[in-house]
């Protein structure tokens, strides 16, 4: 079985050594190297590797490498790569377990370490294959589904996310495409719609951040924005402009990588820069 990987590490020498060992495995294919948080996240989202070898205790603090990079990866990718922490610091192992990493390897990375990792991945892949095989046996009736049924199911899958704000028997349904941004208000969240209406939900902004995926992106301690509703991003003034309104939402340095991702995502579409 073949597995693609990237290395995110600000130590050039250890990166070179890890890659040298990995190159000795026909099962492993390197897709790229990165030396800081932003480049590592960008490379992950662009290449979508099977494995990330991640340093979480960098030599240079400005590289911002830590376990925190795992959160946006989960947020932006449907299929999350397996994370293998490679570090010289054994004290972060317990914290890494909380992030459900595949393995925690103390440097230097050896052939023995990679043998274990490849074996783990093979077992996971085989378990998935067996599970899919069982599902296939019980799902043979699907082969007889009519084309009309297929179209109906595809149509259902394409339906946008519908939010229901429930309060004392009152069910308020909101099409996610109508939401421009979420704004924190202590332990509740104000949901702003493109028609100017505002609805309050008695959930925290962090709750919505964990629930929603792209195009909804956290840009500030107080804001989650619908990226499809952004008309302008001014990185100098650290603000986003909302389409067809005079609303400007601030973004903070701690969420700058999310702003960079929005810019990258927009540029990856049908795009012309002048």
Which positions of the chain have pLDDT values less than 50?
Answer: 138, 140-148, 151-157
In a domain, 274, yes or no: no
94 phi/psi in degrees, rounded to 5: -60, -45
pLDDT tens for residues 213-226? 888 999 999 999 99
CATH of the domain at 110: 3.40.50.2300
Instruction: State the total domains in the chain.
Output: 2
| Per-residue confidence (pLDDT) for residue 144, from 0 to 100 | 44
Neighbours of 13 (CB within 10 A): 10
Q: What is the mean pLDDT of the chain?
A: 87
| Per-residue confidence (pLDDT) for residue 133, from 0 to 100 | 64
Task: Say yes or no: 117 and 199 in one domain.
Answer: no
CATH of the domain at 242: 2.40.50.1020
Mode of pairing for the β-strands spanning 3-8 and 51-54: parallel
Task: Say yes or no: 168 and 245 in one domain.
Answer: yes
Which pTM was predicted? 0.58
In a domain, 135, yes or no: no
Terminal alpha carbon distance of the chain: 44
In a domain, 151, yes or no: no
Cβ–Cβ under 8 Å, residues 190 and 198: yes
pLDDT tens for residues 156-197? 445 788 999 887 788 999 999 999 999 999 889 999 999 999
* Domain of residue 80, residue span: 3-128
State which of 79, 111, 128 marks the end of a domain: 128
In a domain, 175, yes or no: yes
Task: Say yes or no: 119 and 168 in one domain.
Answer: no
């Amino acid at each position: 079985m073949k597995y693609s990987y990237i290395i995110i590490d600000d130590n050039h020498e250890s990166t070179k050594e890890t890659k040298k060992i990995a190159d000795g495995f026909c099962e492993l294919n390197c897709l790229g190297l990165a030396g800081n948080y932003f480049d590592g996240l960008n490379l992950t989202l662009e290449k979508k590797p099977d494995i990330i070898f991640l340093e979480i205790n960098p030599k240079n603090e400005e590289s911002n490498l830590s376990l925190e990079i795992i959160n946006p990866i989960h947020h932006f990718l449907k299929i999350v790569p397996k994370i293998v922490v490679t570090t010289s610091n054994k004290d972060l192992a317990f914290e890494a377990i909380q992030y459900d990493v595949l393995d925690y390897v103390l440097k230097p990375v050896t052939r023995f370490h990679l043998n274990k990792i490849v074996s783990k991945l093979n077992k996971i892949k085989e378990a998935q294959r067996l599970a899919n095989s069982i599902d296939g046996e019980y799902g043979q009736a699907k082969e007889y589904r009519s084309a009309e049924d297929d179209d109906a199911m595809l149509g259902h899958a394409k339906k946008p996310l519908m939010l229901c704000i429930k309060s004392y028997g009152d069910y308020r349904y909101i099409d996610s495409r109508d939401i421009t941004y979420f704004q924190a208000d202590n332990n509740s969240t104000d949901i702003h719609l493109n028609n100017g209406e505002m609805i309050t939900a008695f959930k925290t902004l962090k709750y919505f951040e964990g629930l929603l995926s792209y195009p909804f992106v956290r840009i500030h301690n107080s804001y989650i924005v619908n990226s499809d509703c952004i008309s302008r991003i001014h990185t100098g003034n650290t603000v986003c402009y909302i389409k067809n309104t005079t609303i400007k939402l601030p973004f903070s340095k701690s969420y700058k990588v999310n702003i960079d991702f929005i810019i990258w995502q927009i540029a990856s579409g049908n795009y012309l820069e002048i």
